[in-house]
Amino acid sequence: MVAALINLVVVLLIVGVIWWAVEQLLPLIPLPAPIAQVVRVLLIVILALVIIFALLGLLPGGGGGYGFRLIR
Q: Give me the tens of pLDDT residue by residue for the chain, a chain 72 residues long.
A: 677 778 788 888 988 998 899 889 888 989 898 998 998 999 999 988 888 877 776 655 555 555 555 555
Distance CA 27, CA 49 (A): 24
pLDDT at 58: 66
pLDDT at 1: 67
pLDDT at 50: 82
* Long-range contacts of the stretch 45-54 (C-beta < 8 A, 24+): 47/15, 47/18, 47/19, 50/11, 50/15, 51/11, 51/12, 51/15, 54/7, 54/8, 54/11, 54/12
